[in-house]
Amino acid sequence: MFTSKIEKIRKEYPHNLMARHFDTAYFNSLEKNQQDKLQRMMKSGFENPDSEMGIYAGNVDEYSLFSPYLNNVICDYHQVKNIRLKESNWDFSGDLDLTSIDPSLSNSSMRVRVGRNVARFPLPASMSQDDRVAFENVMIDIFKKLIENPLFGGRYVSLTPGCEYEISNEQYAQLVAEHKMFKDMSGDRYLASAGINGNWPYGRGMYISEDEQFIIWVGEEDHLRVMVMKHGKMLNDIFSRLHDALLFIETHGLSFAYSAPYGFITSCPTNLGTAMRASLHIMLPKLTNNGQDLNNLKTMAKVLQLSVRGADGEHSQAGKGGLVDISPTARLMVSESEIAKKLYQGINDLWQFEKICKTNVTEDALSVK
């Protein structure tokens, strides 16, 4: 039943990597308890055949445990022949000044985030309610130290019933509306199938700095999503603040799940390596036909090793006037500084294409600011 449905998915959904690389002989060679673990990893892609990846790990050791299968999936997704550990490098050696691309980019919406997990806890797909609350309490102790640091001072808000930092449903809804806090994940069928939204809202919360440019999500797709966002022109700014924050957290007793050859271990294999997504919001009215069509831009961006999203995140459409979110696709076998430079160069390339693009664009779209 299970293997025959995988075969059906493989035929009907060829882009589903979970199914594409499934090997029945390998699966049958596993002990029953390991087969159960692997089936749980594959559950999201099994229940959602339209998945691109379809796999979420439940424990950091599952990548090595099932490497004969998973490494093929990972190499296919990340377009590498084999997986080698790439050392972290946050040295940018030079200013990534967006106004050198175009003076109008002086106040761009820039964002960079990393996913991080802590090895001594199961990953979100397999956490119990007690695990989730225990992890949140570990983070609350670290947030108390962040609050004392003028570079990161802020506050922690929790969704956990009875937590001393608990906020109301109205306050939560307001933070989601302001695109600061993450949504209830039960609305994401891929994450829900994997159990990543389990025990909602226990163990979920957000640290946010006074200037609201530094945020840590607790209990979303990974244990932590550490992000910096700001409007400005110097791309370096967001990377250096993020690096400082990660160093601060690590020097206060938290070590992140990191192992060869993968790098930082994440729930989803698409984020392995740096687990970094760096993005810029930019208006590309001509390349998106006033925001009506992302497909041409996505095709062009793929050649440049860039990903395109709408302005409201994964699976969203372009904003008015062609506002899109551009990010380098690479996460694995690339360094943080290379991602920053790929973003900078990618924005420059798309901007040049936008300028020479000949499609007719309504004046009002170009006037949108």
Question: Which positions lie near ligand DAR, rule CB under 6 A?
Answer: 51-54, 190, 221, 268, 270, 314
Residue 83 Cβ, how far from ligand DAR at the closest point, in Å?
18
Q: What is the closest distance, in whole angstroms, from the C-beta atom of residue 346 to ligand DAR in the complex? A: 19
Strand partners, 226: 114, 216
Relative to beta strand 154-158, strand 263-264 is: unpaired
The gap from C-alpha 323 to its chain's centroid, in whole angstroms, comes to 20
Cα–Cα dist 267/60, whole Å? 8
CB 243 to ligand DAR: min, Å = 23
How many CB atoms are located within 10 Å of the residue 24 CB? Answer: 12
Q: Which is nearer to ligand DAR, 222 or 336 (CB)?
A: 222
Q: What's the rounded Cα separation, in Å, for the pair 362 and 356?
A: 16
CB closer to ligand DAR, 53 vs 294: 53
| Closest distance to ligand DAR from the beta carbon of 305 (Å) | 16
Q: Between 145 and 189, whose beta carbon lies closer to ligand DAR?
A: 189
Chain-centroid distance of CA 220 in Å reads 10
Q: How far is the CB of 206 from ligand DAR (least distance, A)?
A: 18
- When the beta carbons of 52 and 244 are compared against ligand DAR, the nearer one is 52
- 220 or 354, CB closer to ligand DAR? 220
Could you tell me the smallest distance in angstroms from the CB atom of residue 44 to ligand DAR? 6
What distance in Å separates the CA atoms of residue 63 and residue 81, rounded to the nearest whole number? 17
Structure tokens at 114: 């990393």
Q: 146 and 241 in contact (C-beta within 8 Å)?
A: no
Torsions phi, psi of 18, nearest 5?
A: -55, -45
Residue that the structure tokens 């440049």 belong to: 304
Q: Which is nearer to ligand DAR, 43 or 342 (CB)?
A: 43
